[in-house]
Amino acid sequence: MLSKQSRIVLDTLLPSGAHPTLKQGVFDTDFEAFWSDFERTALPSLHWGFRAALFAAVWIAPLLIHQLPPLALHDRPTRERALAAMALSRFYILRQLFVVLKQAVCFCYGADPNVRDAIGYPLQHDDPRRQVP
């Protein structure tokens, strides 16, 4: 299970209703099920990298914009600024941790059928929703 702090980071990164076409946020895509599978199957370096990225987002990102951690103490605009500062940090490791964070979220988000439908991504051959003529 993801902690409340981690959930706030992920929701800040990809919130519901942020785009008129892509209305789903990260937690509208059953991220919890994805996370459970990810913990079991991902390479240890990716799994621990994601954990480290969440830690950095919660405890270090606020410091980059001169705010006290944890990230969850702040409103959404402040959280977004903190994550943007992490993405643009002069410290390579923080930038890379942000990439790992986005990567894992994208794996889940891009695989969601509702997201694929919203962007017009073609159904796969073995998709049960595909109608065979």
Mean pLDDT by 10 residues, the chain (133 residues): 93 91 88 90 92 98 98 98 98 98 92 84 63 51
Question: Would 17 be classed as within a structural domain?
Answer: yes
The confidence score (pLDDT) of residue 114 equals 85
Do 46 and 100 contact (CB within 8 A), yes or no?
Answer: yes
Joined together, the tokens standing for residue 16 give 């519901």
The confidence score (pLDDT) of residue 110 equals 86
CA distance linking residue 10 with residue 31, whole number of Å: 10
Q: Residue 102 is part of which domain span? A: 4-119
| Number of independent structural domains in the chain | 1
Question: Would 20 be classed as within a structural domain?
Answer: yes
Question: Would 61 be classed as within a structural domain?
Answer: yes
The confidence score (pLDDT) of residue 45 equals 93
The confidence score (pLDDT) of residue 131 equals 54
Closest to 115 measured CA to CA, from 14, 27, 22:
22
The confidence score (pLDDT) of residue 71 equals 98
- The residue type of 82 is A
Question: Would 106 be classed as within a structural domain?
Answer: yes
Question: Would 130 be classed as within a structural domain?
Answer: no
The confidence score (pLDDT) of residue 26 equals 93
Question: Would 133 be classed as within a structural domain?
Answer: no
Question: Would 88 be classed as within a structural domain?
Answer: yes
Closest to 9 measured CA to CA, from 89, 97, 111:
97
Cα angle value 107/108/112 (rounded, 5°): 120
Question: Would 109 be classed as within a structural domain?
Answer: yes
